[in-house]
């Protein structure tokens, strides 16, 4: 099944989802982008240049790690982890960003803008911009700036301008709105590096294409390591880029079950979560340039979302997933903040891995299901990022007293310096 | 009387019409009514009523905040339609709905248009609904004699303008410059050239908006455009000096 | 030249340097270790198991990245960087630690201890211990605990016990003393995972052997990328493990100049630095189990050292380097704290790389020398670690006001929570 | 009289000798003298004077702190030798140098031994200098009739004990347990067995140290060892109750 073979007149649509819903002023820009992307996708040299940079700059292919201790402890399926946390800048976000950077050069533009939630995409974009010699502006919700300051610090030191967005919920979706506002003004020299498989066509297809490198590698590596395909593949789903990335290695194989793990936040009836498909609060809508399931009220206004993981805290979902979910090709589950902390603890202690809070959502679901699977079954989890960046959030979540004292002392030191 | 006819009729006695903009429920529906009264008495010809949306990504900071505040105070689409009904009953200017497509999509296009007609609206402006996605709602609108306003922009190619022109009904909204609503536009040769270019592709009246700030801009458009759209400038005047500021602005335009 | 072919009766000596100077109580332990290590070194299966784990767990081989922008800007040699920062846990330290973990299992011991300065080695050891199912205690100077709290946080969450050492200067050397004290009590079930190529034989040889993976990879990769060997190889030198690691790829090639970059701290006559060979303040001595150049006074007591980089802030140096320096096989230079900050800024902005503060010392020297080299000459820098972990130190060094406000706000939040 | 002879001589009248420990310059040289006076009057037979070193990695917290404080107050090796000279002049017990090898290495082995002789020292204990590295200094020492004290430990194999025994001169220091100085050792069967084992490999007298806390421990060693080494216990007593505490401790041992 090639989800990117659109029927005539339905380019950019996955079933009912996707499309382009943008102001007329961007029509020529998005068309230029679609054409450029189409050319790149049909140009083998583009892909090989892309892979070459990922290899020499970002350290791809990332390995697959078998988790003997956790597998044994859970007593069911054998657990394998695809290590995209080992990428340069610490997450899968760099894949997409390098790809769009190359594309930006083909477009002849010298400036990039990007939204960021967790900060990972902004960090990756700022890195790529430094490397490719592009001007760079990053939009980030004020709430996220506060919870992801280390990433902001690095973005700025990499030469990017970080703009704190104070509209709306002051999180990812509002940063996307600000990007749109910048883009409609500066499209002549500016490429919008959207960070996930959302937004207007060709973004979902383009981001998926770049992220497919994860799945292509993983399929081959797992076959080499185990001689077989996984029985289940788990990935966390914010916008849905790392998940579609790894899933593309297995979409053709009916024996492989694909599970997208969303942010359950405070739980199923809390109204404070970001589970679009796993819970039943979302409905189909059109916003931020595309049609998909959104967490919105009956009037079409977006709901407040919440997750311990800034990178999953988004109202909409990859339109491809809305389709694949309806087609029953992908199952969706949610993990709550509490479950995430538990899974993180377990993974750190048993295997020496520190998944990002986003990633830990995939671990939660895998850990729940592994014991009910056979010893000869295989689970593959996509470790989309590393947890280092989350130290403030994790320390807060775990209520770590030593960390708090440290921060208090640091603050005292700064106060003393002032006088 | 259709929107195009209304504009053409008015243009016989006025060399340029004025379209004003109001965000429903911001600061409150009472203030909205007060604003409309001022607009009516200053001779405003058209008013677009913006239905607030949580993701107004084509709007600048002033309208973003207005959308947000209005929603925060509980504004519903029902209230917006009720308010439109009130406005079209009380005043003589024509009223257009302005908003984002999701508001329409969630309600259903048919239902939306039915209610728009019932509220006395003349047409609608949905800036995030491109032509390709508008085929259905446009044909439904035309059946109901509503004007589905099409936007033409400085980045539209001739080929694109031809397409847009062919689909245009009632009035064309020419976006004077790139960017979002709110910041100032200098109405210079490039804007006039853009209008000229758009004219080649459509027969319906042309309204020009985005950054029209006052009398000088309206004068510059006179003889080129049929309608000058005064959006953020009005909201800015209201925020700065309340009803009297708004009155001064609109009186200055028709003086 | 095989530096590890010891003349009869001189096992563990490199010229005059090295040896074993330990309390009698450890004699049998160190001998057991020497024998076990010898067996491992002669066992091809051990090495291939080691490489396999590095590959599947840590993401080796790490790539070599060409720096087009910096090379062009400096106008001289072409600069290449070996990316050991892409390792799991973020530095080359994991190589050694995985190796010693395997060895520990062969020794049949179930507990590891380690000293740490920058925290990287402790982080790596805690990670390995979690993965290998070993008990783990990390000793860390109180001063380093304060400046490297994020690493402490992760170590603890990985299940290690971190003990803050309050003796002496409260830095790396004191942590080593504490490890020795633990080891003389618990050698029966405890392996001491020394973190650098210092200490009594077989540690310098053993750590060098494990780290040689860097040089072996780098030589092959650079030949593949450029068709030739580098003209100069730069590596920072704390204890000297990453440097000896990469140098081993080129020791046999006389055309390759090897440059060790030490911590110049506040400068050459400041008495606040950790440059053992680049400056002339050090002399030969015997401490912490081995003979080498130490920063010590005329009475043989160790001097206070200083570096912006906790990981370079050590009194002694790899005994192999004392020898190779005297033999003029390795040149030593120092980089000051100020130069390090400048190089860090430059590297971030021009190439999107964030070297650790330790690593940045190697960049300083390379950046100084590159412009005086020909365009067809090749420089290879070992990026031993990534700078993420250094955010507190770097933010302080750059006097970042936004960071300080963030910390102050965070502290206020913690104070409020309390009441 | 050599160290071995001294011990053998004394052993004729005493079933166990006592060796005490002092860190030079801690808390001060004046206090050191005061301590030595107490030891002398309590009948202590041997004293090891520790030359402070910055990296006392074989010592426990109490001695670590003492080394640190002493150095901080400016103690030099010259002062330590001067102090040793004073002690050997004033008192009748034998004095050994105890310290780390770097102190010796930096000075040069020959020079170190020359000064040790000059200061009246009887031998030296260098816990971080293993036999293999001690060949030169041992032969130099023997020439000068100084005792290069060798340590035997619970982890030493028979083979190793044989080697150590063959090289032993003056006295052997049996380390009663693993670990560093300072914490308590229970003198049980394993310690006595260790002593017995060591005896098989050497003819020189045997001193036992590490964690000897008081009268009970000394009693337990009586009949097994020639010398009981009281190190940290003395320092602890001093720190707790000053000169009188020290006096109580040593009096209790000889009572
Ligand atoms: C580590 C990590 N994983 C996952 C995500 C979620 O994004 P997506 O669903 O596009 O992979 C993010 C977003 O920031 C992230 O940082
Ligand atoms: C990133 C990094 N580089 C270098 C060093 C210095 O150690 P070595 O000289 O053993 O490589 C350290 C020590 O902690 C480190 O963390």
A131 vs C55, C64, C351: nearest CB? C351
User: CA-CA distance, B136 to B133, in Å (whole number)?
Assistant: 8
* Number of neighbouring beta carbons within 10 Å of residue D245: 16
pLDDT reported for residue A159: 98
Q: In this structure, what token pair is assigned to residue A85?
A: 């946390």
The continuous run of DSSP H or E covering C260 comes out as strand C257-265
Chain A positions touching C410 (Cβ under 8 A) are 392, 407, 411
Distance CA B57, CA B67 (A): 11
Touching A (3+ Cβ pairs <8 A), the chains are B, C
pLDDT score, position D186: 82
Nearest-CA distance A290 → chain B (Å):
10
B176: tokens are 């004077």
Of residues B104, D178, B85, C400, the one with CA closest to residue A410: C400
CA dist., res. C333 & res. C321, Å (int): 13
What spacing in Å lies between the alpha carbon of C272 and ligand 2's midpoint?
19
The pLDDT value given to residue C388: 86
To the nearest whole Å, the CA of C321 is away from the closest chain A CA by 30
C-alpha distances in Å from residue C413, one per residue of A216, B161, C21, C400, C416? 45, 56, 51, 20, 5
Pick the atom of ligand 1 nearest to A196's CA: 10
C91 lines ligand 2 (CB under 6 A): yes
| C71 and C79 Cβ atoms separated by less than 8 Å | yes
Which of B103, B127, B160 faces A23 most closely, judged by CB atoms?
B127
pLDDT digits (tens, 9 = 90+) for A361-401: 999 999 999 999 999 999 999 999 999 888 998 999 888 99
A174 phi and psi, to 5 degrees? -75, -30
On whether the CB atoms of residues A245 and A211 are closer than 8 A, the answer is: yes
Question: Which ranges constitute the DSSP H helices of C108-255?
Answer: 120-132, 142-147, 149-157, 172-186, 203-226, 241-247
Number of structural domains chain B divides into: 1
For residue C116, give the ligand 2 atom closest to its CA: 14
Calpha distance B122→B124 (Å, rounded): 7
Cβ of residue C151 lying under 6 Å from some atom of ligand 2: no
Whole-angstrom Cα distance, residue A138 to residue A117?
Answer: 10
Residue A1 pLDDT exceeds 70: no
- Is A66's CB within 8 Å of C86's CB? no
Those residues whose C-beta lies under 8 Å from the C-beta of residue B81, and which sit 6 or more positions away, are B115, B116, B118, B119
Question: How far does chain A reach from its first CA to its final CA, in angstroms?
Answer: 67
In this structure, are residues B199 and B225 in contact, taking their beta carbons and an 8 Å threshold?
A: no
CATH value at residue D241: 3.20.20.70
State the sign of the Cα–Cα–Cα–Cα dihedral A100, A104, A110, A112.
negative
Q: Is the CB of A104 under 6 A from ligand 1?
A: no
Give the mean pLDDT of chain D: 95
pLDDT tens-digit map of D182-218? 777 788 899 999 999 999 999 999 999 998 988 999 9
**Any idea of the CA torsion for C4, C10, C15, C17, to the nearest 10 degrees?**
90
Give the model's pLDDT for residue A79.
98
D215 φ/ψ angles, rounded to the nearest 5 degrees = -50, -45
**CB < 8 Å to B107, chain A:** 300
Q: How many CB atoms lie within 10 A of CB B211?
A: 25
Distance separating alpha carbons of residues A134 and A126, to the nearest angstrom: 9
3-state secondary structure B8-24: HHHHCCCCCEEEEEEEC
Q: Hey, are the CB atoms on B151 and A24 less than 8 Å from each other?
A: yes
Answer yes or no: C241 catalytic. no
Nearest to C263 by CA among C252, C242, C244, C279: C279
Q: pLDDT for B149-171, tens place per residue?
A: 999 999 999 999 999 999 999 99
Counting as low any pLDDT under 70, the low residues of chain C are: 1
Chain C: nearest CA to A101, how far in angstroms? 13
User: Would strands A135-141 and A161-165 be described as parallel, antiparallel, or unpaired?
Assistant: parallel
Angle between helices A203-226 and A93-107 (to 10 degrees): 130
Between the CA of C92 and the centroid of ligand 2 the distance, in Å, is: 8
Q: Euclidean distance between the first and final Cα of chain C, in Å? A: 67
* Segment A64-120, tens digit of pLDDT: 999 999 999 999 999 999 999 999 999 999 999 999 999 999 999 999 999 998 899
C118 ligand 2 Cβ < 6 A: yes
Other beta carbons less than 10 A from residue D253's beta carbon? 23
CB D105 within 8 A of CB D51: no
Nearest alpha carbon to residue C67 among C226, C189, C219: C226
Residue D20 has pLDDT above 80, yes or no: yes
Query: What tokens appear for A287 in the block?
Result: 């916003």
Question: In this structure, what is the dihedral angle of CA atoms C368, C374, C377, C379, given to the nearest 10 degrees?
Answer: 10
8 A C-beta contact, residue B97 and residue B84: yes
Strand order in the sheet with A161-165: A161-165, A135-141, A111-116, A190-192
**Rounded CA separation B194/B176 (Å):** 8
Atom of ligand 2 nearest to the CA of C91: 1
Ligand 2 centroid–CA C385 distance in Å is 7
Residue in C88, C131, C395 nearest the CB of A153: C395
| DSSP string for B40-77 | HHTT--EEEEEPP-S--TTS-HHHHHHHHHHHHTT--H
Contact D102 C300 (CB under 8 A): yes
* A 20-49 near B (Cβ less than 8 A): 20-29
Phi, then psi, of A415 in degrees rounded to 5: -65, -40
pLDDT tens-digit profile, chain B (255 residues): 789 999 999 999 999 999 999 999 999 999 999 999 999 999 999 999 999 999 999 999 999 999 999 999 999 999 999 999 999 999 999 999 999 999 999 999 999 999 999 999 999 999 999 999 999 999 999 999 999 999 999 999 999 999 999 999 999 999 999 988 877 778 889 999 999 999 999 999 999 999 898 899 999 999 999 999 999 999 999 999 999 999 999 999 976
Chain D contact residues (CB < 8 Å to C): 52-61, 64-65, 68, 71, 76-77, 100-103, 105-107, 127-133, 150-157, 160, 164, 175, 178-180
What is the total residue count of chain B?
Answer: 255
What number of C-beta contacts closer than 8 Å exist between A and B?
A: 110
CB B35 within 8 A of CB B243: yes
Ligand 1 pocket check for A356: Cβ under 6 Å? yes
Residue B119 has what pLDDT? 98
CA distance A195 to C242: 35
C142 is catalytic: no
The Cα-based distances of C148 to A25, A403, C312 in angstroms read 50, 11, 14
Q: Which residues of B touch A (CB under 8 A)?
A: 53-61, 64-65, 68, 71, 76-77, 100-103, 105-107, 127-133, 150-157, 160, 164, 175, 178-180
pTM: 0.96
Mean pLDDT calculated for residue range D2-26? 96
Domains in chain C: ranges and CATH = 13-55+92-203 (3.40.50.1100), 60-90+212-397 (3.40.50.1100)
Cα–ligand 2 centroid distance for C37 (angstroms)? 23
Q: What is the pLDDT of residue A397?
A: 85
Facing residue for D101 by CB, picked from C173, C187, C286: C286
| Residues of chain D contacting C18 with CB distance shorter than 8 Å | none
Percent of chain A clearing pLDDT 90 (strictly above): 93
pLDDT over 70 for what percent of chain C?
A: 100
Quote the Cα angle for A65-A67-A71, to 5°. 150
Alpha-carbon distance C93 to A343, whole Å? Answer: 26
Active site residue A418: no
Give exposure, B170-188, as e/b (b: 16+ Cβ within 10 Å).
bbbbbbbbbbbbbeebebe
Residue D1: predicted pLDDT: 79
Residue C1: predicted pLDDT:
67
The whole-angstrom separation of Cα D46 and Cα D49 is 10
Alpha helix (H) residue ranges in C352-400:
357-369, 391-397
Chosen from D54, D76, D137, D182 to mutate, greatest number of chain C CBs within 10 A: D54
Nearest to D57 among C29, C177, C298 (CB): C177
Task: Tell me how far apart the alpha carbons of residues A32 and A86 are, in angstroms, rounded to a whole number.
Answer: 34
Q: Which domain holds residue D225?
A: 3-254
């Amino acid at each position: 099944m090639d989800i990117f073979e659109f029927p005539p007149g339905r380019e950019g649509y996955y079933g009912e989802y996707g499309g382009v819903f943008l102001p007329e002023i961007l029509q020529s820009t998005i068309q230029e982008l679609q054409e450029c992307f189409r050319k790149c996708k049909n140009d083998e040299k583009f892909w090989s240049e892309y892979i070459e940079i990922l290899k020499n700059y970002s350290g791809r292919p990332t390995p697959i790690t078998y988790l003997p201790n956790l597998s044994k402890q859970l007593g069911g399926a054998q657990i394998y982890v695809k290590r995209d946390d080992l990428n340069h800048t610490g997450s899968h976000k760099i894949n997409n960003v390098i790809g769009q950077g190359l594309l930006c050069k083909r477009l002849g533009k010298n400036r990039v803008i990007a939204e960021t939630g967790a900060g990972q995409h902004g960090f990756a974009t700022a890195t790529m911009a430094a490397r490719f010699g592009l001007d760079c502006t990053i939009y980030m919700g004020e709430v996220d700036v506060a919870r992801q300051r280390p990433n902001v610090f690095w973005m700025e030191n990499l030469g990017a301008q970080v703009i704190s967005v104070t509209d709306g919920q002051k999180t990812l979706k509002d940063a996307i709105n600000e990007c749109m506002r910048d883009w409609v003004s500066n499209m002549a020299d500016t490429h919008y590096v959207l960070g996930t498989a959302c937004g207007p066509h060709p973004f979902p297809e383009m981001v998926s294409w770049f992220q497919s490198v994860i799945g292509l590698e993983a399929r081959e590596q797992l076959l080499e390591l185990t001689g077989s395909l996984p029985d289940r593949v788990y990935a966390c789903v914010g916008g849905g880029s790392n998940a579609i990335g790894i899933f593309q290695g297995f979409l053709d194989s009916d024996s492989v079950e694909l599970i997208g793990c969303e942010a359950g936040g405070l739980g199923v009836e809390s109204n404070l979560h970001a589970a679009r498909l796993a819970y039943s609060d979302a409905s189909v809508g059109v916003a931020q340039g595309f049609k998909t399931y959104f967490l919105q009220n009956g009037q079409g206004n977006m709901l407040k979302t919440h997750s311990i993981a800034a990178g999953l805290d988004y109202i909409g979902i990859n339109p491809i997933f809305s389709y694949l979910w309806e087609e029953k090709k992908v199952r969706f589950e949610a993990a709550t903040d509490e479950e995430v902390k538990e899974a993180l603890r377990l993974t750190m202690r048993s295997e020496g891995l520190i998944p990002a809070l986003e990633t830990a959502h995939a671990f939660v679901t895998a850990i729940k299901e592994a014991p009910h699977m056979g010893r000869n079954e295989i689970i593959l989890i996509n470790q989309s990022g590393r947890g280092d960046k989350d130290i403030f959030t994790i320390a807060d979540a775990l209520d770590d007293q030593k960390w708090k004292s440290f921060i208090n002392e640091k603050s005292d030191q700064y106060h003393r310096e002032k006088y | 009387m259709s929107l195009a006819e209304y504009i053409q009729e008015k243009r016989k006695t006025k060399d340029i019409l004025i379209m004003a903009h109001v965000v429903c429920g911001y600061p409150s529906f009472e203030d909205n009514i007060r604003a409309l009264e001022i607009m009516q008495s200053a001779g405003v010809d058209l008013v677009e009523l913006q239905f607030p949306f949580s993701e107004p990504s084509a709007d600048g900071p002033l309208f973003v905040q207005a959308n947000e505040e209005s929603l925060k105070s509980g504004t519903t689409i029902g209230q917006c339609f009720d308010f439109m009904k009130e406005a079209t009953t009380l005043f003589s200017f024509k009223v257009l709905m302005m908003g984002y497509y999701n508001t329409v999509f969630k309600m259903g296009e048919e239902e939306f248009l039915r209610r728009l007609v019932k509220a006395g609206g003349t047409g609608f402006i949905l800036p995030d609904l491109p032509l390709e996605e508008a085929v259905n709602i446009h044909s439904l609108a035309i059946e109901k004699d509503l004007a589905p306003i099409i936007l033409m922009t400085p980045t539209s190619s001739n080929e694109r303008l031809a397409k847009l022109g062919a689909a245009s009904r009632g009035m064309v909204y020419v976006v004077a410059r790139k960017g979002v609503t709110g910041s100032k536009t200098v109405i210079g040769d490039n804007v006039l050239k853009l209008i000229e270019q758009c004219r080649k592709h459509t027969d319906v009246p042309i309204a020009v908006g985005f950054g029209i700030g006052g009398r000088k801009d309206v004068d510059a458009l006179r003889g080129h455009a049929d309608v000058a759209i005064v959006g953020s400038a009005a909201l800015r005047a209201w925020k700065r000096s309340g009803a009297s500021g708004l009155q001064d602005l609109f009186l200055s335009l028709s003086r």
